[in-house]
Structure 1
Amino acid sequence: MNEPEKYPLISCICVTNNRVNLLKRSIACFVTQEYINKEIVVSYPETDNDTRSFIDILLEFYPTISLIRIERPGNLSVGNAHNMAIRICKGEYICHWDDDDWYHPGRLIVQYTDMVNKGFKACVLRHILLYDSTTENAYASFTYSWDNTILCKKEILLANPYADRNKGEDTHIMRFLDTKQYLFRLENSHHLYIYIYHGGNIWNYEHYKYFIDKSELLNKETTSTIIKLLNDGLDSFPGI
C-alpha cells in the first residue's frame, strides 16, 4: 500500500471499441491496483453506445472510481486516440492499459518504484505471461521489451506522440526512449501482466504466434490458475 501524496498521479490510458465484456476485466484490474494515486482514461468511439451505457452505470454504482471518459471521432486512429487521451489526462506519468489484457494488483507500484529507484523516466516489462484462448494454452514469455507494458513520463509522450496508425503506433517512441537511455527494462516480471489472444485483437494470430513460438509452454495446473483469473475478471461488477 502507498500514500497518494508521496506518489505522482499515474494515468492509465485505455483505448477501446465495443468490447464491454473485456473492458470490465481491464477496469477491475485498475481498481485493484495497490498504487493509490491513479486514474483511468477510457477512450471509445462516439457511436459506441454499449461502452457509454456501461460507464454510465459503472460510475453510478462505483462513484469513487477515478475515471475520465473520452468519446472520440469514429475515424480516429488508435495512435491519435492515445494522443488525445494523453493531452486530456491529469497524470504526471502515463501507463498503457489495454482493454483486453490482465494486470496484477502490483503492476503499477512495482513498475513505478523500480523505475524511479533506478533513475529512469520510462519502464517496460521484460517478461510477461501469454494466454491463447483459442487453444487454452498459456506461456511464460521469452526475454523481450514488451512495448504494450510501457509506463512513461507524460512530458515525453507529449513531445513524442504516437503515430497516426492502428498498428505499430508506438515503435518510434520505444526507439526514442532507447536512444536517450530513458528506458528501464524490468526483469522477472511474468506475474504482472497477461497478454491475451482472443481472436479480436488488432494484430492477427500470425503476429501472436511469433511470440508464443519463442515462449515456454506452461503446465496444465498453472494454466488452469491463469484461466480462472481471467474468467473471474470477466465477472467483475456483477449486475452491470
Structure 2
Amino acid sequence: MKIKLSHPLISCICITAYRPGLLLKAIVSFDTQNYPNRELVISYPKEDTETKNLIDSILEVSDLRIVRLEREGNKSLGEARNHAIANCNGDYICLWDDDDWYHARRLAHQYNTMRTKGQFREASILTRVMLYDATTQKGYLSFPYLWCGSLLCKKDIILQHPFTDNKVAEDAQVIKYLESRKLVDYISDSAFLYLYVYHGNNALSYFHFSYYLKKSEQLDQESTDWMRSLLDVKVEVLPS
C-alpha cells in the first residue's frame, strides 16, 4: 500500500525595505527549510531598487518560489502584510521578518505540531523564542509570551480578520480573534526555532525590547556566542 503525504502550500510573508543584506539572510533561512511545499512572498517599496536587484539576481541562479510585490512606500506594516497575504498562493501563511533568524525545521515543526498535538488547530505560535540584543551582544531565552512574529495560520482566517493599519501592534486584533476561538496551538518547548534580533532599526522600540529582556533569562557566553555566529555568517549571491 502506498501512502501519499499531503503538504499544503505555506506562503512565508516577508515585508522589507532598503536592507538587502538582512533580506538575503532571511532568504537563506527560507531556502534551508525542510518543509517541501513553500513560497516566499517579498513585499518592498517600488523605489527600493537594491531589493529588486537582489531578487532578480537570486531568481537568475536558483529555483526558489518567490512572489515579488512592489508597494507604495507609505503603506503601514499592517497594510503591507494584508496586501501580501491577499496576493499569495498558499493555504497557510507564516510571518517571515527580514531581520530575524529561523531554524531549518521551523515551518515543518510548527505545521506538524498544530496538526498532530491534541485537537487540530488552525494556527500555531511560539511562546518561547531566543532573543539577541546586537547593541549589547547579549543573548536570552525569552519569558513565556505570545511572540506574534512566529505566527503560522490558515490564510482564510487572516483574509476574514486582517491585520490593522498600523506600523506596530498590527497583529493584536488577529491574535485576539484566534485566541477567542481557541484556534491557536501554543508551542512552548521549541525556542530554538526562532531567534528574534534587536539591531537598532526594528519596528519595535528599544524601550519595549528592554522590557522583554528584563523578564527573560540571560544566557551564558557559549550560548550567546552561538547566537552571534548564526547572525555573523556571510552570504552572497554567486553568478550563475
Are 1:47 and 2:47 matched, yes or no?
Answer: yes
CA displacement, residues 180-222 of structure 1 (integer Å, 9 cap, x when unaligned): 0001101111100000000000111001101111101111111
CA offsets 1:77-119 (integer angstroms, 9 cap, x no match): 1111101110110000000000000000000000000001130
Matched, 1:78 2:77: yes
1:37 corresponds in structure 2 to 37
Q: Distance in 2 between matches of 1:29 and 1:4?
A: 27
Distance in structure 1 (CA, Å) of the matches to 2:43 and 2:96? 11
Structure 1: any 5+ residue segments left out of the alignment?
none
User: Structure 1 counterpart of 2:150, which letter?
Assistant: T
Q: What fraction of aligned residue pairs are identical, expressed as a percent?
A: 43
TM-score by length of 2: 0.95
Please state if 1:66 is matched with 2:65.
Answer: yes
Any runs of at least 4 consecutive aligned residues in structure 1 with deviations exceeding 4 A, and if so which? Answer: none
Q: 1:112 — aligned with what? A: 111
The superposition leaves residues 133-164 of structure 1 with CA deviations (integer Å, 9 ceiling, x where unpaired) of: 00000000111111110000000000001101
Aligned to 2:183: 182
Q: How does 1:83-162 map to 2 (within 5 A)?
A: 83-118=82-117, 119-162=120-163
Normalising by structure 1, what TM-score? 0.95
Cα distance between partner residues in 2 of 1:101 and 1:185: 20
Determine helix, strand or coil for the equivalent of 1:6.
Answer: coil
CA distance in 2, matches of 1:237, 1:8: 30
Separation in 2, partners of 1:74, 1:238: 26
Once the two structures are TM-superposed, the CA of residue 238 in structure 1 deviates from its matched residue by: 4.2
Does the 8 Å CA contact 1:29/1:103 hold for their aligned counterparts? yes
C-alpha root-mean-square deviation of aligned residues, in Å?
1.3
